[in-house]
Structure 1
C-alpha cells in the first residue's frame, strides 16, 4: 500500500493511465474487428476503407505508448496483404 504522498499520487496516476489505455486498446480492437468483419464478408471495398480508418488508430496507439511500433507495423502489413488478396481470390 502507498504510504508517502508521492507514492499515493503515483498510484492515482497509474489508475488514470490504466483507464485511458484500456479505452484506447478497446477502440483499436473495435477498428480491427471492423476490418476482420469486412474481410469475412468478402467485400474488398469495405475492407479497404475499414483498413484506411484503422491505420491512424493503430499508429495513435504507438505514439501514446499503448502498442509497440513493430506490432502495429506487422498487423497493418498482414491486414493489407489480406485485403489485397481478396481481389485476386
Structure 2
C-alpha cells in the first residue's frame, strides 16, 4: 500500500496511465479485428482499406509506448501478407 505522498501520487498516475493504455490497446485490437474479418470474408479491397486504416493506429501505439516497435512491424507484415494472398 502506498504510504508517502509521492507513492500515493504515483499510484494515482499509474491508474490513469493504465486506463489510457488499455483504451489504446483495445482500439488497436478493434482495427486489427476489422482487417481479419475482411480477410475472412475474402474481400481484398475491404481488407486492404482496413489495413490502411489500421497501420497508423498500430504505429501510434508504438509512439505512445503501448506496444513494441518490432511487435507492430511483425503484425503489420503478417496482415499485409495475408491481404496480398487474397487473389
Q: What range is the shorter-chain TM-score in?
A: over 0.9
Equivalent residue for 2:46? 46
Runs of at least 4 residues of structure 1 off by over 3 A? Answer: none
Structure 2: gaps of 5 or more residues: none
The structural deviation recorded for 1:11 is: 0.2
Number of residue pairs the alignment of both structures matches? 87
Structure 1: gaps of 5 or more residues: none
TM-score by length of 2: 0.99
Equivalent residue for 1:22? 22
Q: 2:85 & 2:36 partners in 1: Cα distance?
A: 14
What is the RMSD of the two structures over their aligned residues, measured on CA atoms? 0.3
Q: 2:3 & 2:40 partners in 1: Cα distance?
A: 52
